[in-house]
Amino acid sequence: MTKSIWASAGALALAFLTTQGAMAQDAKPVRGGILNYGVAGGPHTLDCHAGNSFAVTHHLGPHYSTLMKTDNRNYPNTIGDLAKSWTISPDHLTYTFKLHDNVKFHDGTALTSEDVRASFQRIIDPPAGVVSAWRSMYADLKSVEAPDKDTVVFKMSAPNSGMLSIFGSPWACIYSAAKLKEDPKYPEKTVMGTGPFQLVEHVSGSHWTGKRFDGYFRPGLPYLDGFKAIALSSTALINALAGGQIDAEFRGVTPADQQRIQASRGANIRFEQAEGMGLFMVSFNTKVKPYDDIRVRRALTLAVDRWGGIEPMSRISTLKYVSSFQRPGAPDALPKAQLEKLPGFGRDIKAARAEARRLLAEAGVPNLKFTLINRGPDMPYAPFALYLIDQWRQIGVTVDQQVVDTANWAQRRTSGNFSVIVDVTGDWGEDPSFVMARFLSSDTSFNNPTGFSDPKIEQLFQAQKLEFDPAKRTQAVNVLENYIVEQIFTMPVFRTVRLLPFATKVQNYPVVPVHNWLGDVSEIWLKP
């Protein structure tokens, strides 16, 4: 009883504080102060072009600019960062960008179009020894030119309706062309960009500090004097938030952590949330019997009560939404009515399970048994797998769970050493050409581990990629998504929430779904 009173009081306080937080966003920004935030992991590289995890962007993000960027106030629109304006040729094969003319690197040298050209050239055609983790994303890019010091021209080999947002990738940091000429690997050793903060110190495994760059090209920004990113283990991060040692964390916490932190910090903390980009799925190895039989895969997706499970799941984990491949709130997401017609997303679980049993019997595996490979021990992999196992038990399927660490999981996933595996995406952007690319046939997409191939998927993918009319493109994306969900080589189940804690003094950080991008730290300010 006491517990429930406290819980209700906490919820009311939370609602109040969230509103207060939102109201404070409109107040007049104040200059100064240091933002201390936690990061659960250190960067494995100092080179954005080689990075792929939040641990890289949450450290490097404040030091670099990109050509374009996602608009966190009007998400998921793309706006210019270094680009002041841009034009796209009618055939969508030429993108011309005009750059801001007052941009300086942290060493005082002026940025020119050559720096942008050299940086993109490094991504699409990396010199020997340079890792370009996102090269494949720019496959449609033919060349980059710098006809004058303020203009960059990108020539495409094929049109791509998602290209503008791809230019806003947080990994496409702009480096100094002169320094790249001296040493193409300099970004691995030196952090020197045109971003709002200069690097002061990096103590491996401990902390990373930045100070305001007075030559930053956006007038009056950044508001903060500096920031300190503190490396913390997942448990220590929650303790540090509860103890007030850090002011924020930008990846997200669980509802249980939220309660603990709230109980400790009271009015000094607020939480804001958005639909997350983490999609939890199950992938089947379609080269292994009986998962080569679509009836078996269909039975396994039909058995999972997504709508019934999400509410209890959201109380104990970061999983909060029933979702297909596109985020439910994304511009091109399947309409709910259409989604509910897809296998596994229906509301009548009794009928779905009866159908699942019939399909398994028809496929000759009424008492199917298998081992589910799960990635552990991080949240929310464990509750997700346990829920699935229970759901499958209800149609007579027996599942053993094998929990392996990330290295083992990644190796098994890419080598096809599994029958059924818990799978996840955590994309940095919303454009369907990017989000859906990993679900192309296995012989086309190196990121589809299921061995499933169907040329129709490529045709539908190309159709949406070549469609520039927004309404028609949404239709084309819906057709593609519908088709992929129907093939059930990978079954989407639940999506995460991005629940961010902020000390109440932290202002002006609109929460967006993507956790792999830090967002615009230059606009954060601290209430005195």
Partner 1 sequence: MLTYVAKRLLMTIPTLLGAAVLIFFMLRVVPGDVIEVKLRGDGASVTQDVIDAERRRLGLDKPLPEQFTSWIAGLTRLDPGLSMWTGKPVVDEMSVRLPLSIQVAVMGALIATLIAVPMGTLSALYRDSPIDYLLRIFSLVGLAVPAFWFGMVMILLLLWLFNWLPPVIYTPFHVDPIANLSQLIWPALVVGIRYAAVVARMVRSSVIEVMKEDYIRTARAKGLAEKVIIIRHAMKNAMLPAITVIGLEFAFLMGGLVVTEQVFNLNGIGQLFVQAVAHRDFVLVQNIVMFIAAVFVFTNLAVDLLYAAIDPRIRYR
Of residues 367-426, those binding partner 1 (CB under 8 A):
404-414, 423-426
Shortest Cβ distance from residue 231 to partner 1 (Å)?
7
* Contact criterion met (CB below 8 Å) for 67 and 79: no
Question: Which span sits near partner 1 by CB under 8 A: 112-120, 142-150, 236-244, 462-470?
Answer: 236-244
Shortest Cβ distance from residue 212 to partner 1 (Å)?
21
Shortest Cβ distance from residue 524 to partner 1 (Å)?
21
Whole-angstrom distance, CA of residue 365 vs CA of residue 244: 55
Whole-angstrom distance, CA of residue 238 vs CA of residue 293: 45
- Residue appearing with tokens 């589910």: 372
Nearer to partner 1, 424 or 463 (CB): 424
Nearer to partner 1, 140 or 355 (CB): 140
Which residue in the set 224, 231, 300, 379 belongs to the binding site for partner 1 (CB under 8 A)? Answer: 231
Shortest Cβ distance from residue 439 to partner 1 (Å)?
12
Nearer to partner 1, 353 or 465 (CB): 465
Q: Which residues pair with 226 in a beta bridge?
A: 34, 211
Whole-angstrom distance, CA of residue 81 vs CA of residue 516: 18
Nearer to partner 1, 245 or 453 (CB): 245
Three-class DSSP category at 162: coil
Which residue in the set 54, 291, 381, 461 belongs to the binding site for partner 1 (CB under 8 A)? Answer: 54
83: exposed, middle or buried (Cβ count in 10 Å: 0-12, 13-18, 19+): buried
**b (16+ CB within 10 A) / e for 366-378:** eebebebbbbbee
What binding mask, one character per residue, do residues 102-141 give for partner 1 by CB under 8 A, x or -? ---------------------------x-xxxxxxx----
Nearer to partner 1, 295 or 515 (CB): 515
Determine how many CB atoms are found less than 10 A away from the CB of residue 75. 18
Which residue in the set 109, 239, 259, 402 belongs to the binding site for partner 1 (CB under 8 A)? Answer: 239
Q: Which residues pair with 95 in a beta bridge?
A: 88, 154
Which residue in the set 34, 236, 342, 463 belongs to the binding site for partner 1 (CB under 8 A)? Answer: 236
Could you tell me which residues come within 8 angstroms of residue 22 by beta carbon, excluding any fewer than 6 positions away? Answer: 272
Shortest Cβ distance from residue 59 to partner 1 (Å)?
12
Q: In this structure, what DSSP letter does residue 506 have?
A: E
Determine how many CB atoms are found less than 10 A away from the CB of residue 486. 11
Nearer to partner 1, 423 or 430 (CB): 423
Nearer to partner 1, 246 or 333 (CB): 246
Residue 4 makes contact with partner 1 by CB under 8 A: no
Nearer to partner 1, 117 or 251 (CB): 251
Which residue in the set 7, 9, 20, 44 belongs to the binding site for partner 1 (CB under 8 A)? Answer: 44
Count of residues interacting with partner 1 (CB under 8 A):
55
Pairing of strands 506-507, 490-503: unpaired
Of residues 446-475, those binding partner 1 (CB under 8 A):
446-447
Of residues 485-524, those binding partner 1 (CB under 8 A):
516
Of residues 191-230, those binding partner 1 (CB under 8 A):
203-207, 230
Nearer to partner 1, 38 or 196 (CB): 38
Pairing of strands 369-375, 420-426: parallel
Whole-angstrom distance, CA of residue 264 vs CA of residue 319: 24
Shortest Cβ distance from residue 156 to partner 1 (Å)?
18
Could you tell me which residues come within 8 angstroms of residue 76 by beta carbon, excluding any fewer than 6 positions away? Answer: 70, 165, 330, 331, 429, 430, 431, 512
Shortest Cβ distance from residue 499 to partner 1 (Å)?
19
Instruction: Give kind and range of the element (H or E) at residue 194.
Output: none
3-state helix, strand, coil in the chain (%, to 5): 35, 25, 40
Shortest Cβ distance from residue 36 to partner 1 (Å)?
9
Nearer to partner 1, 218 or 438 (CB): 438
Q: In this structure, what DSSP letter does residue 28 have?
A: P
Q: Quote the tokens at residue 503.
A: 């000390």
Which residue in the set 87, 102, 157, 233 belongs to the binding site for partner 1 (CB under 8 A)? Answer: 233
Which residue in the set 143, 151, 264, 273 belongs to the binding site for partner 1 (CB under 8 A)? Answer: 264
Pairing of strands 226-231, 34-39: parallel
Nearer to partner 1, 70 or 132 (CB): 132
Nearer to partner 1, 35 or 359 (CB): 35
Residue type, position 167, single letter:
F
Cis before residue 290, ω within 30 degrees of 0? yes
Three-class DSSP category at 150: coil
Shortest Cβ distance from residue 80 to partner 1 (Å)?
25
Please state the separation of Cα 394 from the chain's center in Å.
33
Q: In this structure, what DSSP letter does residue 295 have?
A: H
Query: What residue ranges bind partner 1 (CB under 8 A)?
Result: 42-45, 52-54, 129, 131-137, 188, 203-207, 230-233, 235-236, 239-240, 242-246, 264, 404-414, 423-426, 437-438, 446-447, 516
